[in-house]
Amino acid sequence: MRHTVVVLGAAIAALLMPATDGHQLAPAITSTTVELPSGDALFPGGANADAINNNCLACHSADMVLNQPALSRSAWDAEVHKMIKAYKAPIDESDVSAIVDYLASTKGTN
Ligand code: HEC
């Protein structure tokens, strides 16, 4: 009984399908606009945050860094070098001190 219903259903579906004559119309491709939430995308602090904003947002968010525990200046220095060595962050050595300054004053222990 169930088998008959399935076969009948398939036959009706086949009848209802629009006839294709060998070629199908390509779907129209249209542009659309997406509003992304703005969020706290950047490290706050204006010009003092330029170096860290320019170097530290390619792989993770500012929040991810700012939510870490406060560290000493030397620990932040080691952290920045870990990003460069372990994770191959393309950070210019001349930007490192400005980044460490920012981290030590924003999330520092001393
Ligand atoms: C090339 C990609 C990349 C860049 C650029 C980068 N990081 Fe990271 N960072 C990572 C990865 C990968 C992790 C570890 C995995 C994770 O937690 O997402 C990480 C983790 C961290 C952590 C968490 C603690 C830890 O050691 O895991 C801190 C803090 C951090 N990064 C700070 C920075 C700062 C500051 C900069 C800029 C100097 C920076 N990152 C730039 C890839 C990067």
- Which tens digits make up the pLDDT trace of 56-88? 999 999 999 999 999 999 999 999 999 999 999
The closest alpha carbon to 84, from 107, 56, 64, 65, belongs to 56
**Residue with CA nearest ligand 1 atom 1:** 89
CB contact at 8 A, 63 and 40: yes
The rounded distance, in Å, linking the Cα atoms of 2 and 33 is 47
Query: In this structure, what is the dihedral angle of CA atoms 6, 9, 15, 20, given to the nearest 10 degrees?
Result: -70
The atom number, within ligand 1, closest to the CA of 58 reads: 5
Residue-wise burial string across 50-78, b where 16 or more C-beta atoms lie within 10 A, e elsewhere: bbbbebbeeeeebeebeeeeebeeebbbe
**Could you give the percent of the chain with pLDDT greater than 90?**
66
Residues in the chain where the model's pLDDT stays below 70: 1-22, 37-40, 110
- pLDDT (0 to 100) of residue 45: 92
Query: What is the Å distance from ligand 1's center to 34 Cα?
Result: 28
The atom number, within ligand 1, closest to the CA of 88 reads: 1
